Amino acid sequence: MNKVGQNPARPVSGPLAGLRVLDLSQVYLGPYATFLMAKAGAEVIKIEPLHGEPARRRGELGSSATLPFCMLNANKKNVTLNLKEQAGRELLIEMVKRAGVLVETFAPGVMDKLGVGWSVLHETNPRLIYGSGTGFGLSGPDRDTLAMDLTVQAMSGVMSVTGEPDGPPMKAGPAFVDFISGIHLYGGIVTALFERERTGRGRLVEIAMEEAGVHTLASNLGLMHQNQAVPPRTGNRHGGLSLSSYNVYPCRDGHVAIICMGEHHWQALCRSFGHDDILTDPRFATNARREHAADG
């Protein structure tokens, strides 16, 4: 068993010290959830197929391509198991007997087909908390739709509100749905750990990337219900076009992001620029007038 990014001479501490986590997840979502557990003191054992998980294999593109893998899997132990072989499945079941949490991000039904799904592992270890992260959940009409961050940004509606008004829908720069989904999964597992302290029993914890993405649209959905229409894309301006200044502006050495949530912010901005005269200009006297002037 390999141990990566951990000082064996330093005693493990943290709120999750003493917890053993089996990590069968891949790429970003699950590994980020277990990364947070490892940072909190859990013993995380990353289980990969013999050829390595996809993020590890990105090293074929160049050494820097593996940096995300190294970051997300720091402080974890590493083993390989071939779950397509009976011996590999038997070894996993033996490991589950001594674990508190298992995390996987396979498509729905994959673990069941292998004979090591939630029902089997729960019977093996009733205290096991089984965390599952999928694109669209373990049930529902889109259950079997394959998912990656890009496609979930599209289907959740995130891309519909990102970009310029006269341009196409755009994805966010980072794979943020993967990472907020990892936070959701981490939170669900930690909540289940708290419950287990009371009941003595584990449970299935599942998250869907689409649901995590929809949660980020709180303001946009509020505007849609308020106006009974899908709000337009607004680029870097406020989604509801109700705050000004709120944008990314060119400046001498690049760009600067400015947001004024209230009148006192606007007044402080004008004074910092040495333009107190703007404060008495009727064209900019209210937030609504300033926002309207931004179109001019």
Active site residues: 238
Surface-to-core class of residue 34, CB atoms within 10 Å of its CB (0-12 exposed, 13-18 middle, 19+ buried): buried
- Tally Cβ neighbours within 10 Å of residue 116: 22
* Torsion, CA 67, CA 73, CA 77, CA 81, rounded to 10: -90
Backbone φ and ψ of 96, nearest 5°: -65, -35
What is the SS3 assignment for 27-78?
CCHHHHHHHHHHHCCCEEEEEECCCCCHHHHHHHHCHHHHHHHHHHCCCEEE
H or E segment to which residue 265 belongs: helix 263-272
Sign of the torsion formed by the C-alpha atoms of 117, 146, 140 and 152:
positive
